[in-house]
Amino acid sequence: MSTPSIHCLKPSPLHLPSGIPGSPGRQRRHTLPANEFRCLTPEDAAGVFEIEREAFISVSGNCPLNLDEVRHFLTLCPELFLGWFMEGRPVAFIIGSLWDEERLTQESLTLHRPGGRTAHLHVLAVHRSFRQQGKGSVLLWRYLQHAGGQPAVRRAVLMCEDALVPFYQRFGFHPMGPCAIIVGSLTFTEMHCSLRGHAALRRNSDR
């Protein structure tokens, strides 16, 4: 089985639609990049899991992925993980995998289907010190451009609680009705997004 290649993100201007906060402006120089978007590596697993654990346990009491699952997905599809680092420190990240069915199922929580054309977004989390600053919006838009630039990926899917539906609609996601996945007493709405427009934005920004 071939190992998936990691798509490196070269520096490029980030074009955001109106209403979505921009990334921070010019930063003073550091040995480490002031702002860096890159795919995650196994060395990042523990740090991003701590952000996930704090973000989700405090709200719902459940983590979408445990540390072993984060590491497992990192070995299978690192090109579908994207982190935002400031001075070398992770401040926000998205974990994704490929899925090959029309709708999400319970299996989609822990499986990566290499032949799939759908990027399943498992987790979007922001470090508590950087919340309410628009960083989740910036990272999600960047991620959709990144995923849309991969030839095999045609759309993105996720599940969210009803209160978050308007947030994801701003990025082109459309509610598809109740998700088949139930976690404890929590129910979710499944949302789909075509990546064709995001792929075009990525191509233009690379010129």
Question: pLDDT 10s digit of each residue in the chain, 207 long?
Answer: 333 333 333 334 444 555 555 544 444 444 556 789 999 999 999 999 999 999 887 666 778 899 999 999 999 999 999 999 998 899 999 999 999 999 999 999 999 999 999 999 999 999 999 999 999 999 999 999 999 999 999 999 999 999 999 999 999 999 999 999 988 888 999 999 999 876 555 544 544
Active-site residue identified among 65, 74, 144, 168: 168
Give residue 61's pLDDT.
72
Give residue 59's pLDDT.
67
124 is catalytic: yes
Contact 190, 104 (CB under 8 A): yes
Give residue 60's pLDDT.
67
Give residue 2's pLDDT.
36
122 is catalytic: yes
Active-site residue identified among 124, 144, 158, 195: 124
Contact 159, 188 (CB under 8 A): yes
Amino acid at 37: F
Q: Which of 126, 129, 103 shows the shortest CA–CA distance to 116?
A: 103
Active-site residue identified among 40, 82, 98, 122: 122
111 is catalytic: yes
Active-site residue identified among 97, 104, 127, 195: 97
Q: Rounded to whole angstroms, how far apart are CA atoms 70 and 178? A: 26
Active-site residue identified among 111, 192, 194, 205: 111
Instruction: Enter the tokens of residue 151.
Output: 């030839």
Q: Which helix (H) or strand (E) holds 200?
A: helix 196-205
Q: Which helix (H) or strand (E) holds 97?
A: strand 89-99
Q: Which of 91, 65, 75, 85 shows the shortest CA–CA distance to 41?
A: 75
Map tokens 């074009």 to a residue: 15
143 is catalytic: no
Q: What is the pTM of this model?
A: 0.80
Contact 94, 73 (CB under 8 A): no
Contact 106, 179 (CB under 8 A): no
Give residue 194's pLDDT.
96
Q: Rounded to whole angstroms, how far apart are CA atoms 9 and 146? A: 8
First to last CA, the chain: 33
Instruction: Enter the tokens of residue 88.
Output: 């070398």
23 is catalytic: no
